[in-house]
Amino acid sequence: MRLDFKKIYLQQAINEDLFWRTRATDIIARFPEAEVVPVKSHWQIDELAGADPATWMQTKRDVLVLGIKSGLTHTLNGRSANYIAASSSNGCLSACQYCYVARRKGGANPLTIFINIEEVAGSIRRHQRKLGAKLAPDGCDARFWTYDIGCNADLSLDAMVCDNPGYLVREFATMEYAKATFATKTVNDDYWTQFEPRERTRIRYSVMPNKLARYVDIGTSPISERIASVNKLVEAGYEVHLNFSPVIIYGEGDEWREDWKELWREIDDTLTAKAKAQMQCELFFLTHSQALHDINMQWNPKGETYLWQPEIQVAKKSAPDLLVYEYEMRRGELARFERELAAHLPYCAVRYSF
């Protein structure tokens, strides 16, 4: 992906610290044509919050925000990871149509990089020390406390802008009780294979049927490249799992189920014995919303023909602004999906599903 930011919003407080200023200056120097606009806060940028959704993709390409992460808290999760770590970035250069990060950010979702990465990493290190050793395995990991370090972004893309992701991999490699984990849809093997993660970083490649990804996973790496990358990253010392997500129901009859089976056959044909031996997965069905649907209709209506199925989508009980597949139907489909997955990839345990 070629990056060519035209405008960089710079949180003014970055200039107050020598390390932060140096990191920011290094990033800015890579985009000499970009106008640098000082801002008080990385959140309060009216121009972005009120951006016209029709300019969604343009804003992603043109704008970068450099900010300082405040509120270094690590939130208890227990699903993809034990904790959602304080983030090192948010927003994303990709534009998946179902992205929940976009749901939270309003009219534009450009990449925001947090410059104070040493504070983020130091805070995780202290947190896991306070927890001490994990005494019993759980669904997140058998030995270590897992921290999701990429919940609001795609770190493989962040790595094209800054070294925050590598900084975290190096830090986790020396932590006593913790393991990093993050989901990605971008292949960036040259970057990740520079480090020695010592199996203390779990990368989760999100995959879905090729046919569907073309319309809803905008700006991401082809599915086949993601699958092939699993082998390389396992060889490099990462734990690599798969996310079968979001599972989207589309087409006539069994069409979507048949597409998943084709994907599983490709995975089985591609993975090495070593990659299979450490493989686990997560899977979950689509969550959508009226607000995101309205935005998507302005820039990629084709994708919405897959996501928008009002006849089978209902308000989520715990968050009525969101839409999920009708509960009873989803329960049945989830059980069937897991059965069929087990038949195709018997070595791939499901760590977590909904």
Q: Which residues bind ligand SF4 (CB under 6 A)?
A: 92, 94-96, 99, 101, 153-154, 185, 220
Closer CB to ligand SF4, residue 172 or residue 205?
205
Asked if 353 and 282 count as a contact pair (C-beta separation under 8 A), the reply is yes
Helix (H, G, I), strand (E, B) or coil at 184: strand
Residue 223 DSSP class: H
User: Nearest approach, Cβ of 27 to ligand SF4 (angstroms)?
Assistant: 19
User: Nearest approach, Cβ of 95 to ligand SF4 (angstroms)?
Assistant: 6
Chain centre distance of CA 81:
13
User: Nearest approach, Cβ of 96 to ligand SF4 (angstroms)?
Assistant: 3
Half-sphere exposure of 166 (CA within 13 A, CB side): 14
Determine the Cα–Cα distance for residues 297 and 303; give it in Å rounded to an integer: 8
User: Nearest approach, Cβ of 292 to ligand SF4 (angstroms)?
Assistant: 11
User: Nearest approach, Cβ of 132 to ligand SF4 (angstroms)?
Assistant: 32
> Residue 92: which residues within 8 A CB-CB, separation 6 or more?
60, 99, 101, 109, 111, 153, 154, 157
> Residue 261: which residues within 8 A CB-CB, separation 6 or more?
340, 344
Asked if 175 and 125 count as a contact pair (C-beta separation under 8 A), the reply is yes
Closer CB to ligand SF4, residue 45 or residue 208?
208
User: Nearest approach, Cβ of 287 to ligand SF4 (angstroms)?
Assistant: 12
